Amino acid sequence: MSIGNSPEDERPFEDPSEEAPVSIGHALRQARIEAGLTVDDVSTATRVRIAIVHAIEADDFAPCGGDVYARGHIRTLARAVHLDPAPLIERYDDTHGGRPAPTPAAPLFEAERIRPERRGPNWTAAMVAAIVAVVGFVGFTAFKGGDGGGAKEQVAEGATPTAGKTASPTPKTDKPVDRKPEPSDSAIAAAPQDKVTVQVSAADGRSWVAAKDHNGRLLFDGLLKQGDSKTFQDSEKINLVLGDAGAIDLFVNGKKLNDDFQPGSVERLTYTKGDPQTG
């Protein structure tokens, strides 16, 4: 025993870093208070309902509607209160069984390979072929007409026909009218009109994206890094969930949408064949 020291002084040193980690809800609530924000302020900035914000701060993720939406809400709320969302997402995965297995790549590639084959006829190629055929026919007719004009000039400059003889009438040939086919709407539009086509591009950052068709079948669930893009197509409608809508550019039925989404906001969107509306 050391002289002058009590037994309590000889206890092993306890590292404060070994304390139990702060829960996700407690960390978000503490950061919100330190930022001087109320639950109403966070709900307005993120478009996450007040009831869901209260539930998440109480570590109750059932109102989120599933692990995918819970991760998106945690990420959005963390950014709103100036927290790094990565450690919170990792802690959520550790306590809720990890992220779901990604959709196998082969079915996606197969679907993308099959879909173009079901599109309508290639009107652009047909129009070009028709124009080439018309131009060729007109050129051939003009060349033959030039030879006939020379013969007529020789008759005009020659001797006057003998009286009493009736010149045989020259057969009249009607030249075909050069009618170019009018391009249809399908040839002008970038996307087929009988389907809804949605392209999602991560232009200003990365964002988690989920897409479903009109039957509720999951087409994609994953993270798009900056510069990545995905195209989804269905006969009726496409349902989207964007984890960070401010980082996304949307192209619906060949037209870019100018939606002013806030960075970090979660958006649930639905598009049909008639979108975007004219006007």
Q: Say whether the peptide bond before residue 276 is cis (omega within 30 degrees of 0).
A: yes
Tens place of pLDDT for every residue, the chain, 279 residues?
A: 444 544 444 444 445 445 567 899 999 999 999 999 999 999 999 999 999 999 999 999 999 999 999 999 999 999 999 999 999 999 999 888 666 555 555 454 444 444 555 566 677 888 888 898 888 888 777 776 655 554 444 444 444 444 444 545 555 555 555 554 443 344 334 578 889 999 999 888 888 889 999 899 999 999 888 899 999 999 999 998 988 888 889 899 888 888 778 888 888 899 898 788 643
Query: Distances in Å between the alpha carbon of 203 and those of 27, 54, 150, 224, 245?
Result: 30, 32, 66, 10, 11
Q: Which two tokens stand for residue 82?
A: 């100036």
Domain with CATH 1.10.260.40 in the chain: 21-95
Quick one: three-class SS letters along 121-160?
CCHHHHHHHHHHHHHHHHHHHHHHHHHHHHHHHHHHHCCC
Q: Which residues partner with 220 through β-bridges?
A: 211
> pTM value?
0.34
Give CB contacts under 8 A, 24+ apart, made by 38-41.
Answer: none
Residue type, 139: G
Pick the CATH number of 21-95 from 1.20.1250.20, 1.10.10.10, 3.30.470.30, 1.10.260.40: 1.10.260.40
Comparing CA positions, the residue from 24, 31, 88 lying closest to residue 56 is 24
pLDDT the model gives residue 141: 78
pLDDT the model gives residue 263: 85
pLDDT the model gives residue 2: 45
For residue 166, the Cα-to-chain-centroid distance in whole angstroms is 77
Do residues 76 and 243 lie in contact, with contact meaning Cβ atoms separated by under 8 Å? yes
Q: Which two tokens stand for residue 187?
A: 């040839």
3-state secondary structure of 197: strand
pLDDT the model gives residue 279: 34
